[in-house]
Chain A
């Protein structure tokens, strides 16, 4: 069967199934199980209203449980076991973790990921704040915003190709077709294969993600800047503050909360970064990161124990943000 046809059937079945489920379960609840008629009408309405939320929630709770909650537990279990040839698992305790900790590739991945965690959220937020503040003050700001925001729509893989062209390297003396090397050569430098220079190549990969995430930071920070009460800025101007003082001493402190949200959101993206490294260097030349290390272990080395252990490391790094988000959400709901 042609996949497009299959897709169409799935849409019809999926959408029809969803609507059918919700309609039929509500119908059953109201007409058959607890009809709001007869001697028990009042009690039946109450009972129906107790059950109905769970009818609405059931598919979502099922999918969330199966696709996100269960895997956390299962990955934890897999990371503590080893696969026995021929099927089955045996308890391995922390063996996978110690094995992983001894793997130089893992240390490299952890080190690089920490580097990413420091550099990318910081620079994306700074560039985003800069872009937000500057574009808010000019007439063609909307167009400028659109352009800076645009990389958000481009896939990590597409961005990898775009930036590989920027970093392209030809031997010295040949015509350079990568912008970066062309600039270096025109300034009298030697062309360099940027992605193969250990340590520094990490920064060339990070540039790709910063390029993508700056737009996101800009959009959110720009909204926050516009939400600042004008009186505070006016008062500062009357008091003779210069534009830099207004920005750093009046505006930035007032949007600190939003800056933190942007920072943490980008941090989560960074922790999961996979495609850029996979497509540009695949972890060669000391550019390994955790998610790509995990993919290597799971699907190339077929080592589920160590692979799951490295996935748990990513989960562990995400956990503080998770707790902080939940704490804030609950505080806000009260």
Chain B
């Protein structure tokens, strides 16, 4: 049995959750609402995050455009995703929503542009 502590992020209350993991069974305590329980379980089973960063643009009116993962990716892949993002160079023009990296690291999630760059 393993016990983990974390802070629930659903509201300003920030409940201190205590999560006990016993094989397949996960118990959440310290939460004041249902959302706290769901958050605790997902953080144990499959914690995921959106990653946002920037990508270098060539021939653009600016050096960089900002990017994000279109959906959350597994938390443990954050730095691997960053490595991939850092390897990309885009050619202007770039528009919001353009796919920068398709299906990054086989996650089924794309990296998309979140700002525009005009060609100069």
Do A and B bind?
A: no
Q: Give A contacts to B, CB under 8 Å.
A: none
> Residues of B at under 8 Å CB distance from A?
none
